[in-house]
Chain A
Amino acid sequence: MADTRTLDHGTTPLRYARGWHCLGLASTFSDGKPHAINGFGTKLVVWQDSKGELNVLDGYCRHMGGDLTQGEVKGDNIACPFHDWRWGGDGKCKEIPYARRVPLRARTQRYETAVVNGQLLIWNDPEGSAADRDILPPELPDVLTDKYTPWSWHTKEINGSHCRELIDNVADMAHFYYVHFAFPTSFRNIFEGHTATQFMESTGRPDKTTGGYSDANSTLKSVATYYGPSYMINWLTVDYKGFVTEVILINCHIPTGPDSFTLQYGISVQKPEGLDDKTVDYIAERYTESFGEGFLQDVHIWENKVAVQNPLLCEEDGPVYQLRRWYEQFYTDVADIKPEMTDRFEFEVDTTKANEYWHAEVAENLAKRAADDPETVSH
């Protein structure tokens, strides 16, 4: 039938995004041992040298392909377990203990590093440009002091979807109701330059109890900004029965292959004044758990959906096409970036009708539940 709509799956990009990518908490790499991180279609080796600097190289030795992540840190260098070739953080081979001299061209892929908010970030660019430190994510004031709980950090491997699926969430108003069980009452986006922001306010659904957004007693004000293609800071103000907590959620990922990525997320909670450490820790753990559940709700969708290059949108949907146009800049040579990819774009979704329909549905669900099981509801 000619008027039947088909899904255009498109082709997945042949490159990995240009920009800063977070590999995890810097402290996890500071034990003087080599660490392996899958990323950009290869394995990376991360180690700390004697000056305390973190170094990141392609994980495979340019001599005979030995796995450097299984080698040893010797002095400031990483030594290959195969023939002991020693590589420095600048990507140059510094020493071959059995050779008269190091061959010319003994240089491997290195990644420039930065430590921001206690996390290790590396610069990736298929064009090989120098790291752009002007577009690093901002330092968060007071985080990593005793005003906030230390990062609770988690890692999850995602297979079978391109990381753009994760980015799409920035413009997705309605999934907060269906996937995260909340009423999004206000929803706006601003895309500009290398940042994409979602402003969202929500209250939990009283007919559901799982996930960080679903508690009917709490309202949420959320500002979430992607700084580049893969690192998002989400400032959450949670009002639970009048008790207000500031939560910071980091949501970042490293692409590992054409249709896989490693999701990482970290949570730090501003310590409420007047509470003892144990209670504060308890609160932080609950938030970590519930926002972690929120991610798992998304993951289940991603792992089972297909790629869609031509999504069909309704009036209540966010600006998916404009978001993807913004995201495209990171997969384009710098010289080919078009103005519309970075020009400021603002969008506000009208959530009025959606919330009318949703409230009616939830009321129906609650009525059904009351009829099925009067005991539960009376509590």
Chain B
Amino acid sequence: MPSFVPTNAETLEEQRRYTQARLVEVECLDCLAKVSVKKNSEHHTSIQWSAEAVAACPELCRRTRSDSRDGDRGCPRLAASIEAAVAGGALSVGAEDGY
């Protein structure tokens, strides 16, 4: 059953642009997780995980269900791996056309 169906074909291209464009694969230096990352600036980070990547990350696997409160700060090892990818030039930093 359709829901929130766009009425303009260009909207599908927008959805692709905002959710997939410029994603670069980054491998964790400590485990087998591979994620897709985009960095528009030093502070900005967008990380797309897959189910396989989450299963490979010991940090995320240690979480318990209802403790979102103190939260989920993300995996520090992956954060370090992303920094290394930026430093090594594999992941470029900067927004194109603002997205």
Contacts and interface: CB of A to CB of B under 8 A. Distances in A.
A interacts with B: yes
Interface of A: 6, 8-15, 126, 138, 164, 190, 192, 195, 197, 199, 223, 225, 235, 309-310, 313-315, 319-322, 324-325, 328, 331-333, 339-340, 343-352
Contacts, number: 123
Nearest to B65: A138
B89 interface: no
A315 B44 contact: yes
Given A310-B14, A322-B19, A350-B44, A344 B54 contact: yes
A310 B10 contact: yes
A347 B47 CA distance: 6
B87 interface: no
Interface residues of B, number: 39
Nearest to B72: A190
A14 B3 CA distance: 6
B40 interface: yes
Contacts of B15: 321, 325
Given A310-B10, A348-B44, A350-B44, A343 B51 contact: yes
B28 to A, nearest CB: 14
A196 to B, nearest CB: 10
Contact of B40 (A6, A315, A324): A315
The 3 A-B residue pairs with the shortest CB-CB distance in the complex, in nearest-first order: A13-B3, A350-B43, A138-B66
Contacts of A199: 71
B76 interface: no
Contact of B48 (A13, A15, A343): A343
Interface in B28-49: 40-49
A199 B73 CA distance: 9
